Structure 1
Amino acid sequence: MLGSMQQPENSYIASSNSPAYQRYQELARVAGISRAFTLSVKLGLYTLLRDAKEKEGLPGLSSQQVAQRLGLQRSAGFRGVTDWLDVLASLHNLRRGGSGADALYSNSADAEQYLSSQSPDYMGGHAVLYHDRTFPQLLFMEHSLKTGVQPAAARSLVAPVTDTFAGAAGASGAAGGGDPAAFALGMTGCNKPAFKSLASQFDWGRYRSLGDFGGSAGVLCCCVAAAQPHMACTTHDLPAVHDAAVQYVQQQGLADQVKVLDVDFFDDSSFPSYDVITMGMILHDWGLEKKKLLMKKVLIDDARQANLWGLMMSLDMLLEFEGENSFDYSFNEFTTWAAEVGFSSTQLIRLTGPNSAAVAYK
């Protein structure tokens, strides 16, 4: 009888000596691995395990205890929760001590740092955002590539991002992903390391003020303010995320240095004057004409091959903003647009992971 055999090496498929065959098998199955991971963050598994250790003094929790505390299936003979926890252990998110029903699960050091909501380095909001918004929309990628828009079925699962930021997601009847505060938390998780890098790498000494447009929870301004005490920073975004930004700024103890203001990006007025204006988190939301318009009111590699995550983000923008023809862009494209709208020079600053900062100088 043919059946599924667990392989000793940590690989999803090891049934062929061909690296290409194995890679394609992994690509076909990686969505399930990712879904298991993002669900674990959404359910608060890592926070639960940290609390069990710090508040109850427990070395770990059994699969039955995890199931009970998270409201998962616990019927006799059901192995789903154990299998799920073992997947997470194989990904080095969890440690497992013992075996069978007596096995105890606890956080790995990395999960404790990045996936427990009590940690200052928590990035799990991005995983939750991907679980609630991006995954459901990816089901309709074929339709989006053929028509340029998401079908009505997608919008019954996920609130349109424009409704989310307009504060109208609750009225849309969408099933999930419509909380602007959760969206802001997701942006915090994925962008904070890059913002810290920008705050230290860019030459801020010549400037005194920063205005960040599309600032979400105000993370970039807080990173710059903390690293550059001479800078007066103002984060601008839509009213729907105002309270989330005020809360984040206050939590960082930077309310005296960082202001939070609402903005309409496309009204007839010019942006307020600052020594430095940033808008990296909104340029990719729009098509080319609106990109240039925003640049006037004040990155993917050029070969379009090396930056996989930048290219995937460009597809995500298609799914989120559909009719806007939204896309991420290369530094060469940014330089061309900057020259067209009147900037004199540009600079590329490499940050963390796939992130870079494209700077245009007047």
Structure 2
Amino acid sequence: MRDGIDASVTAEPLLQMAADFYRWRTVLFAIELDLFTVLGAEPATEPAVRQRFGLDERGTRHFLDALVSSGLLDRTDGRYAPTPLAARFLDSRTASHLGRFLGQADARWARIGEGLRSGAPQNGARATSGLFTGQHRDQAAWRAYYGGMDALNGPSGAALAQVFDWSSVKRVTDVGGARGNVCAELVRAHPHLQATVFDLPPVQAVFDEHMVELGLEGRVGFRAGDFFTDPLPASDAVVFGHVLHDWGVEERRILARKAFQALEPGGVALVYDTMIDAELRSRPNSLLISLNMMLCTPGGSEYTPAEGGTWFTEAGFDTVESVPLVNDDVLLIARRSPA
């Protein structure tokens, strides 16, 4: 070590971060071109791609082969076509298309400096009231946003169906449950459940079409309402999945109280988010997602299991425990006393 510098430390981690950034920008440009949709309709050679999109010969082959090495294109006999991953999530003809969602995220994060200096969201959300309706004014916008949410919530819903004992639950409400992906996982795994999504009125159209796609129309109900101004449906279990982190602490306390009021004695509130580990604060995904909430909401952030537990005990819940769910998600299980 010389002058306080450890000569054994290499720049490799930083260079890998840079390489990940290069890959991300390459994928975003392909999304901007709608490349995966075009090649999904008809695989094409590199010269045909150049002609179709007006690209120069110098970089196009490397561009396409970089997408192959990233697992998004297949190359067979010189023709490029989307892999199953890209076909499902990056073809704009599909309901699960994530292109708009990823583009919006990139635009937010380009303004992280402004966000950290001001503490204000960088996506036009300026007030808690109307946070979602202000950003998503038509069905296409709702579909794009919830397509991204489905991709994030899919593993969590499947895990929730297994981690918690559902045998004593009859009625479950997923508050802010969007297109119903979590409820779909629950009723598939536990057919006895009467599942309902509670979300804003404009969401019902994309919920209905998604249930048809999943072959579950009639199996999951939809109740339209605003969870800050309307009562939640009477339930044995209430789920808040990636919901509390959208809001400030006072709003979280309100939602905890509303869950308590909606539950029968002995009922349970199930809350999962990408929570921060209180002591080490070392989970990079949790901390980065918390920054993302700063960039897209007026008061949102991640929180620790202990902080979440406090809001629910204050609301009247008898006990709160936390268990790992999947990836970096943590599940809080808040139980209302049976009597």
The TM-score with structure 2 as length reference comes to 0.81
1:184 aligns with 2:159: no
CA distance in 2: counterparts of 1:263 and 1:89, whole angstroms = 44
- How far 1:82 moved relative to its partner? 2.5
Task: Please tell me the residue identity of whatever aligns with 1:88.
Answer: L
Identical residues among aligned pairs (%): 26
CA distance in 2: counterparts of 1:162 and 1:105, whole angstroms = 46
Name 2:57's counterpart in structure 1. Answer: 78
1:288 aligns with 2:267: no
1:276 aligns with 2:259: no
Secondary structure in 2 matching 1:234: strand
Secondary structure in 2 matching 1:194: helix
Where does structure 2 lack aligned partners over 5 or more consecutive residues?
1-6, 260-274
Q: 1:275 to 1:117 in 2, by over 3 A?
A: farther
Return the match for 1:93 from 67, 72, 83.
72
Secondary structure in 2 matching 1:79: helix
- How far 1:65 moved relative to its partner? 2.6
Contact 1:116 1:124 (8 Å CA) reproduced: yes
Q: 1:160 to 1:46 in 2, by over 3 A?
A: farther
Deviations 1:249-292 (A, max 9, x none): 1222222221112111211x432210110112321111111111
Secondary structure in 2 matching 1:204: coil
Secondary structure in 2 matching 1:212: strand
Name 1:320's counterpart in structure 2. Answer: 296
Secondary structure in 2 matching 1:259: strand
CA distance in 2: counterparts of 1:228 and 1:196, whole angstroms = 11
Q: 1:314 to 1:44 in 2, by over 3 A?
A: same
Contact 1:283 1:291 (8 Å CA) reproduced: yes
CA distance in 1: counterparts of 2:335 and 2:120, whole angstroms = 35
1:210 aligns with 2:157: no
Name 2:105's counterpart in structure 1. Answer: 134
Return the match for 2:23 from 30, 33, 39.
33
Where does structure 1 lack aligned partners over 5 or more consecutive residues?
1-16, 53-59, 172-176
Q: How is 1:136-155 mapped onto 2 (pairs within 5 angstroms)?
A: 136-150=107-121, 155=124
Structure with more contact order per residue of length (Cα contacts < 8 Å, sep ≥ 6)? 2
Aligned length: 315
Aligned Cα root-mean-square deviation (Å)? 3.2
Task: Please tell me the residue identity of whatever aligns with 2:174.
Answer: D
- How far 1:321 moved relative to its partner? 1.0
CA distance in 1: counterparts of 2:100 and 2:25, whole angstroms = 10
- How far 1:162 moved relative to its partner? 6.9
Secondary structure in 2 matching 1:297: helix
Q: 1:109 to 1:265 in 2, by over 3 A?
A: closer
Q: 1:288 to 1:159 in 2, by over 3 A?
A: closer
Which structure has greater strand proportion? 2
CA distance in 2: counterparts of 1:117 and 1:199, whole angstroms = 30
